[in-house]
Amino acid sequence: MVRFENVGLRYGMGPEILKDLSFTIAPQSFQFLTGPSGAGKTTLLRLILLSLKPTRGLISLFGSDVSQIEPDALTAVRRRMGVVFQDFRLLDHLTTFENVALPLRVQGQDEARYRSEVIELLRWVGLGDKIDAIPPVLSGGEKQRAAIARALIAKPDLLLADEPTGNVDPSMAQRLLRLFVEMNRMGTAVVIATHDIALMNQFDDARRLVLGDGRLHVYD
């Protein structure tokens, strides 16, 4: 599903911040991406999402070399991925329901087909009473949960989550992690970027991708 071969990244003429990254993410796999603050976890997710281009090396997504993907085909590739950003990226003029349903609307689906599914997911993440609220009146944790619901609603092939439990209390973090696990069981490959060791230790059998000093170490 994702393959990196000797990927390096630098900004301008500066030193490489990511060096010789070689790893794969298999379909239906579950892994944590971890490392100290500033190690480059978000940057690595952006490379997978195709919002950054590597300085060198090969990246392939869903069997295609990303350097060969035509610009008009990028949208279709990105739609196969669900993303939870640290800054949420909700649209302030849309309600919680509308934000979560947006990926389905973009696909041209009729609201009558997905309305009950969106409401059920919002209830699962504890936002059943915030369906008609707009983002400016939501707390940071509520925005985080709305962003997670939006990333999951289209049942992506690959989910990339950047510190998805960083703004919620421990009990909600557990609930959200169970949701990620359930999505994984249903066929979605999951990559969770986090520095929360306690969270990762609850899943000792999960694969760990550890970034440090610009290099990646994989522990299966």
CA dihedral 137, 143, 145, 149 (to 10 degrees): 100
Q: Which helix (H) or strand (E) holds 215?
A: strand 215-219
- Which pLDDT belongs to residue 45? 96
Residue 172: the pLDDT is 81
**What is the separation, in whole angstroms, between the first and last Cα of the chain?**
17
User: Mind listing the pLDDT tens digit of every residue in the chain (220 residues)?
Assistant: 999 999 999 998 889 999 999 999 999 999 999 999 889 999 999 999 999 999 999 999 999 999 998 888 888 898 999 999 888 999 999 999 999 999 999 989 999 999 999 999 999 889 999 999 999 999 988 998 999 999 999 999 999 999 988 878 888 888 888 888 888 999 999 999 998 888 888 887 889 999 999 999 999 8
d(CA 36, CA 147): 24
Which residues touch 217 (CB under 8 Å, ≥6 apart)? 209, 210
Q: What is the pLDDT of residue 166?
A: 82
pLDDT of residue 57: 97
Strands 2-10 and 16-25, bridge-based pairing: antiparallel
Q: Locate the DSSP E strands across 11-79.
A: 16-25, 30-34, 56-61, 64-65
Asked if residue 181 lies in contact with residue 28, where contact means CB atoms within 8 angstroms, the answer is: no
Burial code (b: 16+ CB inside 10 Å, e: under 16) for 69-94 equals beeeeeeeeeeebbbbbbebebeeee
- Taking the model in full, what pTM does it have? 0.91
Alpha helices of 41-139 — where are they, by DSSP H?
41-49, 74-78, 96-106, 111-124
pLDDT at position 170: 83
